[in-house]
Amino acid sequence: MMKLEQYSDKILEQLQLGTPLTKICKQKDMPGLTTVYKWARENKEFAADLQEARKTGAATWLDRCLELLEQKDIPPNQLGFLREQMHHYRWLASKLISVYGDKSEVKQTGESTIKVMWESDIPTSTHNTQGLAHGGGVQEIQEKKQLSNPEADPR
């Protein structure tokens, strides 16, 4: 029976170097892919380490892309393939590493308050607006209407 402690460092190291997990798990001395996924389900710390190692691996691939871009002797028949590879690695990095992603995240700390104020030149009756101005709201206005017109009892 394979143990997580035996293999976790090797797996994480290879992921950080940009080796895909499927390729790592095909090696003779390594556990199978389903075993690694089972370990990740059962051990949240290992799952978090896997994710972090994949992020580092994506950064490694971006570094490799920069090296490829600096090469001067790329054969013309390889340019299309190379462009597709770089596009894929860039896309992968945008999904794994938030710095390179398309989505921005806004976090709010503390309490938020919205204050609504308005000014109007339109004349209004003081009967309706006084209740709102003093914080009485709709209930106070309805009570004032009932007092001013006792025959119109909606109950």
CATH top-level class of 4-98 = mainly alpha
> Is the pTM value of this prediction over 0.75?
no
112: tokens are 């938020």
pLDDT-derived band at 12 (thresholds 50, 70, 90) equals very high
Structure confidence by residue, pLDDT tens digits, 84-134 = 888 888 887 787 776 666 666 677 787 877 778 777 776 655 555 555 555
Comparing 89 with 142, which gets the higher pLDDT?
89
Task: Determine the distance from the C-alpha atom of residue 83 to the mean position of all C-alpha atoms in its chain, rounded to a whole number.
Answer: 27
Q: Is 37 helix (H, G, I), strand (E, B) or coil?
A: helix
Show me where the domains of the chain are located.
4-98
Q: Contact, 11 vs 24, CB < 8 A?
A: yes
Comparing 38 with 146, which gets the higher pLDDT?
38
Structure confidence by residue, pLDDT tens digits, 28-72 = 999 999 999 999 999 999 999 999 999 898 888 888 888 887 888
pLDDT at 42: 93
129: tokens are 């607006």
